[in-house]
Structure 1
Amino acid sequence: MTGRKGDMPSSVSGKDMSLFDHFAEAASEFASKAWFFALCVLLILVWAPSIIFIGKVDTWQLIINTATTIVTFLMVALLQNSQTRANEAVQHKLNAIADGLADLMEAQSEDKEQLVQDMVELRDAVGLEHREGTR
């Protein structure tokens, strides 16, 4: 198998994460809750009647447009970070499965030339030969 002993491929987070990665994961967790969505809706409901106090429509629109643009920009960056790490974890899982399957195929390949060929194709397809030493 690839990876270190005890290294779980399902891990999206871990000790190797940077401070930004930890922050992005926490922000992603925070923003994915139903109550956060409800808070955003409440913000719009509070903003909508604020035209009475602000008076000018242009200023009123500028406030919400600026706020939503900034929040959207920051959230996209944070969520992209979390998604990238999740994709890497999924790829690691798939590689671990392919590696295990290739090892099983190798163990069962006595006198089965087609199985040997399939194992070589599997290893080539996922690049396992580059991660493993000679056996």
Structure 2
Amino acid sequence: MTAHIDTSTPRPATPHNTPARRPYAAETPLRSAALAAYQAARQASLSHAPRNLITLTHHLHTLEPLSPTALRDEVIETHDDVDQAWEALNTAHTLTGRNNATAKAHAAVERARAVTLAIEPHAEELSAHGDRQV
């Protein structure tokens, strides 16, 4: 006589029957550059200080040659936007000019964050873990 196993109700998840999380891919220059650019964009989003925008432009410049061909033009245009936002912040002498420059910087930083996430979708999650080994 064979034993009947009831499969009508699923078993509760345990460490033995839960699928393992897919490990992150090995560290690559693209991943490092994308994570650094994402963290610079996050820092620049907290304060649109010109020094934070300069840091972001440096990271985007590093990301340009490493990025996939399909996204390279977007990275270059984003780099230009951040550079123009930095210039606008440095040359704004009136309150209206400063407000316009800040809005331009905000848009450029959000674009940088979006392009970085398009290149490395896990950047936000990895950034939340700080200096965690990937």
TM over 0.5: no
Q: Which has the higher contact order (CA 8 A, sep 6+)?
A: 1
Q: Per residue, is there more helix in 1 or in 2?
A: 1
Query: TM-score w.r.t. structure 1 length?
Result: 0.29
Query: TM-score w.r.t. structure 2 length?
Result: 0.29
